[in-house]
Amino acid sequence: MQDSSTPPAPVRRPSPRRPLAATILGVLLGLAFVLGAWQMARSVRDFRLLDRSVEVKGLSEREVPADLAIWPIAHSAAGNDVAALYRTLDRTSQRIVDFLVGAGFPREQLSVSPPHVVDKQAREWGDPQRGEFRYTGRATVTVYTPDVERVRATMSRLVELGAEGIVLGSEQGAQPQFLFTKLNEIKPSMLEEATRNARASATKFAEDSGSRLGSIRRASQGQFSIDDRDASTPHIKKVRVVSTIDYYLD
Q: What is the pLDDT of residues 216-230, one digit of tens each?
A: 999 998 899 999 999
- The overall average pLDDT reported for the chain is 86
| CATH architecture of the domain formed by 52-65+182-249 | 2-Layer Sandwich (3.30)
Of 183, 184, 173, 195, give the one whose Cα is nearest residue 72.
Answer: 173
Task: Read off the pLDDT of each residue in 32-52 and give the average, rounded to a whole number.
Answer: 58
Could you state, in order of their start, the residue ranges of all structural domains in the chain? 52-65+182-249, 68-179
CA torsion 188→190→194→200, rounded to 10°?
90
Given a contact cutoff of 8 angstroms between Cβ atoms, the answer to whether 86 and 137 are in contact is: yes
Cα 146 from Cα 32, distance rounded (Å): 71
* Multiple choice CATH, 68-179, 2.40.128, 1.10.3470, 3.40.50, 3.30.70: 3.30.70
DSSP state of 34: H
Cα 138 from Cα 215, distance rounded (Å): 63
Given a contact cutoff of 8 angstroms between Cβ atoms, the answer to whether 22 and 217 are in contact is: no
pLDDT at 242: 96
